[in-house]
């Protein structure tokens, strides 16, 4: 993140509301500024975006609070809740359902944002209307990312498709605009990632971490702009 501030909650901050923590004089300085930052998707708690509904979340010691002031797309208020009919279903059969997830909605619910809309909650409504069981999660994509998400309708289908993802058989292609101009124009990012059970996200870890898994992403620059690139 560029233009980013980061703080770690100390023991003395335990039990403090997120908005009060950020409203301190050496941070944002007022509740009004905090509310605007939350509305516009500029606040992250333990790497997970926090919205206005999360203002009252109580911090625990060790929580990481980040502020991304120049986050792309944050000049205006973030989109509100998605309605029941918002599912963009591209494929469905007896075993699978594939949806086009818009940016601004979670793939699956997060414990700290249980009231936030997600594709899973919309799918549950969709399945309930036709007498089907709940969807089985196969994989997810980030809140700000739009694209295809696969869900299974049976435990067997879920197991088999998740195995395909573990074997890295599906090819996943993303288009993204990034700051600056990557050099070289083509290459590969390699990271070692570990699953954070608290934040429900993957984080970078030490190369020798036994709990980590290797992640590899090939990139290619498609177009260059003044201060950014389409890759």
- For residue 165, give Cα distances in angstroms to 144, 170, 185: 21, 6, 28
- Whole-number pLDDT of residue 81: 43
The matching CATH number, chosen from 3.10.290.10, 1.20.1250.20, 3.40.50.1380, 3.40.50.1260, for 4-68 is 3.10.290.10
Predicted local distance difference test score (pLDDT) of residue 82: 44
DSSP per position, 29-93: -SHHHHHHHHHTT-EEETTEEE-GGGTTPBP-TT-EEEEETT-TT-SSPPP-PPPGGG--EEEE-
How would you classify the pairing of strands 4-8 and 223-224?
unpaired
Quick check: 49 and 65 in contact, CB under 8 A? no
Residue 86, pLDDT score: 67
Q: Show the low-confidence residues of the chain (pLDDT under 70).
A: 1-4, 73-86, 111-115, 199-200
For residue 52, the model assigns a pLDDT of: 84
Q: Which residues in the chain belong to E strands, given as ranges? A: 4-8, 43-45, 48-50, 64-68, 89-92, 96-101, 136-137, 147-152, 177-179, 186-196, 201-204, 213-220, 223-224, 228-230
d(CA 63, CA 45): 7
pLDDT value at residue 48: 84
Q: First and final CA of the chain: distance in angstroms?
A: 17
Is domain 84-166 in CATH 3.30.2350.10, yes or no?
Answer: yes
Looking at the annotation, which residues are catalytic?
A: 142
Domain boundaries, the chain: 4-68, 84-166, 177-230
Residue 133 pLDDT: 78
SS3 125: helix
pLDDT at 83: 47
Q: Do domains 4-68 and 84-166 have the same CATH topology?
A: no
- 51 within 8 A of 116, measured Cβ to Cβ: yes
């Amino acid at each position: 993140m560029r233009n980013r501030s980061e703080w770690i909650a100390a023991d003395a901050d335990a039990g403090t509301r997120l908005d009060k923590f950020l409203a301190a004089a050496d941070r944002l300085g007022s509740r009004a500024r905090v509310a605007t930052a939350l509305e516009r998707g500029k606040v992250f708690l333990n790497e997970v975006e926090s919205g206005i509904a999360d203002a009252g979340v109580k911090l625990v010691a060790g929580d990481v609070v980040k502020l991304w002031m120049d986050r792309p797309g944050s000049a205006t208020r973030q989109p509100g809740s998605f309605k029941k009919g918002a599912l963009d279903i591209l494929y469905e059969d007896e075993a699978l359902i594939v949806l086009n997830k818009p940016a601004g909605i979670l793939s699956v619910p997060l414990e700290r944002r249980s009231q936030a809309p997600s594709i899973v909650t919309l799918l549950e409504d969709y399945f309930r209307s036709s007498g089907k069981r709940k969807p089985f999660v196969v994989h997810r994509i980030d809140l700000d990312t739009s694209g295809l998400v696969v869900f299974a309708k049976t435990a067997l289908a879920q197991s088999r498709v998740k195995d395909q993802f573990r074997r890295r058989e599906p090819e996943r292609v993303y288009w993204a605009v990034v700051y600056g101009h990557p050099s070289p124009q083509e290459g590969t990012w390699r990271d070692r990632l570990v699953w954070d059970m608290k934040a429900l996200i993957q984080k970078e870890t030490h190369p020798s971490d036994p709990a980590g898994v290797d992640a590899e992403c090939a990139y290619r620059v498609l177009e260059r702009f003044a201060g950014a690139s389409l890759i």
